[in-house]
Structure 1
Amino acid sequence: MQVRYLNLFRIAVVRDMSDEISILPIQSFYSLNDCVVAAELLNKVPLVMRFEPVLSDDECQQLIEAAASRLKESRLVNKVVSQIRSSRGMFFEEEENPLIRRIERRISELMNVPIEHAEGLQVLHYAPGQEYKAHHDFFRPNTPSAKNNRISTLVIYLNDVEEGGETVFPLLRLSVKPKRGSAVYFEYFYRDQALNDLTLHSSVPVVRGEKWVATQWMRRQRVRSLGLIPNPA
């Protein structure tokens, strides 16, 4: 998919050619270096897709075990405790071990964006009653973080949730049920801000069981190898 990146990512993201061009080509499956991922189109513009499987059961469990002892109260990018998210979370360092390196490279290939544009991989844990209220992943214009804004998101479900915990896009009337190893992907790099605003989404409260997710955000410009990865502490 590297050639596709050179031809598509640079045109769509760097040159802002058209709101009809997506970062990720719409296909029914994606043949990656180490696996094949099936895809379901949920919405075309803004692009929302569901992937399965992105991670194996073993990889999901390894991520959960690696993150569990490092969870902290969720914070925003400016390190303020979040008032809209009641989960606990953590960030892995860039390629901090072979598991993270393998997963980050697979995600980069799937999202069709070079790994240098990736924030650190985040893991969140939701207990019963915990949620992430409706929000956007991109940063509003005229804010410091908007200088190198996010352009796309991949949320990977690390476990099956007994009840609740769906990812809901209220303006698009979409609801995605957590399934271990699967993921939801969406873009919000469009010149038309109204299209970006349609990616408003939430993680509804967990009713029974627990919810684990891994989230990857991509930035418009590179952030890695420059000491610029903006992970909350």
Structure 2
Amino acid sequence: DIEHALQVANVIPLRLQTHFDLHGHERRSMDGAQQSNPRAGASSANSIRNMYRDSMEIKMMHQSPPVLVIENFLTPQECQEIEAVAMAAENGHDGGSGAVQVESATFAMSQSTRTSTSWFAHFYQVPQLVAKIHYLLGIPLEHMEEPQIVRYKTGQEFSWHYDEVPAAQLANGGQRVATILVYLNTVEEGGGTVFRDLRAPTKSEFAAPAAGCDDFEEECTFDNVITGPRASSTGSSTNNDQDQDFLTVQPKQGRACIFFPALADGKPDDRTLHKGEVVAENQEKRIVQMWIHENPYAPVLPPGNSQMAARELVGEMGHELGFV
């Protein structure tokens, strides 16, 4: 039901709780059957609506599995502050105690190619991001994976992959149950986040307003959010990639894309296979992303990184932003 799906889209992503029995969407059980798990409640949306109704817009790009977009999740200044963390590490201006550059940090469960530069940041280096994920989305700090800042230059990409954690590494935090990706700059051509097995909705399919969510926007709009069809794709696929209307979220500064690599029971959701498109000529794509685990997670990089070390700063940021 589209109207119900839109209502869920406006409530659930803002009330992600400690354990991801959270999706609030129809999900598949271990035997493949579908179960309904609605947890939408008007009161949870009201508090957020009162704070961010004039700036944030919440849009549902796909119903099941859910793919959601929150416009203006980060302000332009906040995006620039996060970019500066990576730049300081790259230029050696952080005294060697800041973010750590890595070749690749995503557990890709398929053969994939990544051509980009990534940095793991301390939680205290990106308090604006951590505070919004914590207070707006209801995510406990201890379930957050290290913030990762990624830069893609012209011609760079990240081919088809899953965000799920391989079985050998489940001891630390269990499965990744949510991906929160925020675009730090606007990319005019290429660089989109593409979901191979999901199709882009038409505007008419999602034109009805979400019940009880009129303060956000009178109707859902998708201009400059999704693009398609895509002419061709790289990487192996069981489907014909040619002329497919893939669901694609285009990078726009401050825009957050949220989806769920695993189901509520921790089983990977293979429908979330996705890629980062090749960045077009004279373009650059910069993102910050964080994965959320079903259990408390112990950070690995940078050395000494800790969610708890950032708690006081995140609390101060929460007060500054008016969350608490």
Name the TM-score, length of structure 1 as normaliser: 0.78
Q: Which amino acid aligns with 1:183?
A: A
2:291 to 211, 217, 224: 217
> Does residue 103 of structure 2 align to residue 74 of structure 1?
yes
Is the contact between residue 266 and residue 294 of structure 2 (CA under 8 Å) also seen in structure 1?
no
Contact 2:19 2:295 in 1 (8 A): no
Contact 1:119–1:231 (Cα < 8 Å) also in 2: no
Name the counterpart of 1:92: 121
SS of corresponding position for 1:143 = helix
Matched, 1:229 2:299: yes
Question: Matches of residues 1-233 of structure 1 in structure 2 within 5 Å?
Answer: 9-10=18-19, 12=21, 19-21=35-37, 31=48, 35-36=52-53, 37-71=56-90, 72-76=101-105, 84-96=113-125, 100-140=126-166, 142-145=167-170, 148-173=174-199, 174-190=247-263, 191=265, 193=267, 196-208=269-281, 209-223=283-297, 228-231=298-301
CA RMSD in angstroms, aligned pairs only:
3.4
Output the CA distance in 1 between the equivalents of 2:270 and 2:157: 20
Q: Which entry has the higher C-alpha Rg, 1 or 2?
A: 2
SS of 2:288's partner is strand
Farther off after superposition, 109-118 or 30-39:
30-39
Q: Which runs of 5+ in 1 are unaligned?
A: none
Alignment check: 8 A CA contact 1:119 1:229 kept = yes
Gaps of 5+ in 2: 1-10, 91-100, 200-246, 304-324
Q: TM-score, normalised by structure 2?
A: 0.58
User: Secondary structure of 2:57's partner?
Assistant: strand
The count of corresponding residues between Structure 1 and Structure 2 is 216
Letter in 1 for 2:196: P
Percent of aligned positions that are identical: 27
SS of residue paired to 2:150:
strand
From the superposition, tell whether residues 84 and 146 of structure 1 become closer, same or farther in structure 2 (CA, over 3 Å): farther
Q: Is the 8 A contact 1:77 1:232 kept in 2?
A: no
